[in-house]
Structure 1
Amino acid sequence: MAERTLRGARLGGQSFEDERGIEFAARQQSAYACTNGHEFEVTMALEADVPAIWECPKCGAEARSTQGIEPELKAEKPARTHWDMLLERRSIPELEEILTERLELLRGGEIGPAHLHRPRKKKANA
C-alpha cells in the first residue's frame, strides 16, 4: 500500500513550469472609485465585459467605474405576500364561503382550542 502513495509537490500547487514562450492575453486596466474615497484599478482581459460596480479591496464598499460605465437597471418584482399567493388560488367569494363555514364550525365547538368549548351547564327546571 505504501508503494502506491502519491509523491510530489504539496497541495495548493506550485507550478514547476516557467513563463518563457507563453503569450499572455491582451489586457486592459479598469479604474474604480469607492464611496469612501479609495481609488484602484483592476486588470482584465481585453475581451472581458467591464462591470460597472466592483467591491473595494480596502474597505469592501461598492466602487463604481470611473470610465463612465453605468450599471444596468433591473426591473424589480414586487414582493409576493401570502395574500397575493392566496388570491392566485381562490376568489374573494370562495374565501368568504370558506370563512363562513369555518366560523360555523368554531362556534359549534367542532374546531378550535379546547378551553373555548367547555360543556355548558344546563339550567335546571324548577
Structure 2
Amino acid sequence: MHTQSRVLEVGFDNGSSFRLPFEYLRVNSPSAEVQGHGPGQEVLQTGKRDVTIAAVEPVGNYAILIRFSDGHDTGIYSWELLYRLGAQQDTIWQSYLERLEAAGVDRDTPMAAPGGHACGSH
C-alpha cells in the first residue's frame, strides 16, 4: 500500500502486477451499497478523489476487505476481481468517467445522501 501516491499495488503468481489507485478501488467497490442489488441499480460514486485506505484485511485465501477513510468497509475484493480491475483498468475507468458525464457530475461532486433505498446496510 503506497499511502503517498494513494495506490494499492497487487502482485499475482503469474507475474502480473497492478497499481490500483484508492479512488478507483473505492468507486468500483463490489459491495451492494455501490453495485445495488441488480443491473441498473448501481450507485454512482463521486467525491472520492481524496479517499484513502485505512486498512486491508484478508478474507480467507480468496479476497481482501478494504476499509476506506470515508467509512466504507463492506467491499470484499476477490483476487479475481482485483485482477480484472487491474487488467481492464483503462476501460473500467473510462466507463466510470462516461457515467459521471452522463449524470452531469464530476469526480469531485459530493455524494448525495442516500434516499429511500430499502437496503438494510444503511
TM (norm. structure 1) is: 0.20
Q: Please identify the structure whose Cα radius of gyration is greater.
A: 1
Tell me: higher relative CO, structure 1 or 2? Use CA pairs within 8 A at least 6 residues apart: 2
Whichever structure has more helix as a proportion of its residues is: 2
TM (norm. structure 2) is: 0.20
